[in-house]
Amino acid sequence: MGALSVQTLTCPPYKYPTGNKCCPRCRPGYRVQTDCTESVTTCLPCEDGTFLDKPNGLKQCHQCSNCDLGSGLKVKWPCSPASDTVCEPVDGFFCISTSPGCTAAQKHRSCGPGQYIRERGTASSDTECSDCSTGTFSDGTLTSCQPHTQCETKHPQVIKAGTAPTDAECGEQSSTTSILAGLVVFVVFLCLVVVALIIYYRKEIIKYVQERVGTGEMVKQGGSNNIKQRTAKLDGNEGNKELQVLTE
């Protein structure tokens, strides 16, 4: 049996294979409308939003890329029939993938309290942070750590010692302030005691008066009943005399 040989059509770089012939490629920005019949290919320009950036034998143009602002990308060069959109990172982001423009971006890192910005982030590199050395501080937004304030040279007392994220806090001697604060507390306490005593004795006085008034009414009422009873037993002058004696 004879071996079946299959030959692949080889075309020069400026032509593309179609069937058993080689046709001239369309230039960038154009696509093939009709393959060549003899030596001429019919081409059409790419529509808006599409492109072809190389000589080609394609029947469809590629869709232009979108720069997603939500992913940290913006348009550097807009799409054209002969070139795709070129994206770049927005401020605060850096590119982590290119082809040929930026296809993916990441937000610059933030330095933490106690660190300073050694190198600011760029469109192609992330921010670099370093720790503050002993005796210095930074809140993470500084490009260099600052030395702690020396309270001995400005004020006689350290209110709060400096740390890596914060400066030292200095102030004047606070003995007078402490005395005044204590005096205010004592006066307030004394006022509360006086008010409590006034309320207590007021209640006691009201209770005593109420008891005295109640007793007086009972005696008065009992005496009146007794007089009436005695008066009922007496009549005439004796009754009147007895009534006079009882009521005196």
CA distance between the termini of the chain? 165
Residue 70 DSSP symbol: G
Q: Assess contact for 173 and 160: CB atoms under 8 A.
A: no
Among 94, 90, 135, 127, smallest CA distance to 111 is for 127
Q: What is the helix (H) or strand (E) element at residue 21, kind and residue range? A: strand 21-24
**What pLDDT tens digit does each residue of the chain (248 aa) get?**
444 445 678 999 999 999 889 999 999 999 999 999 878 999 999 999 999 999 999 999 999 999 999 999 999 999 999 999 999 999 999 999 988 889 999 999 999 999 999 999 999 999 999 999 999 999 999 999 999 988 876 556 788 889 999 998 887 655 556 677 788 888 889 889 898 889 988 888 888 888 777 665 544 555 555 545 544 444 545 545 544 544 44
Q: Assess contact for 160 and 171: CB atoms under 8 A.
A: no
Query: For residue 184, with 0-12 CB atoms within 10 Å meaning exposed, 13-18 middle and 19 or more buried, which class applies?
Result: exposed
Residue 56 DSSP symbol: B
C-alpha to C-alpha distance for 23 and 42, rounded to whole angstroms? 10
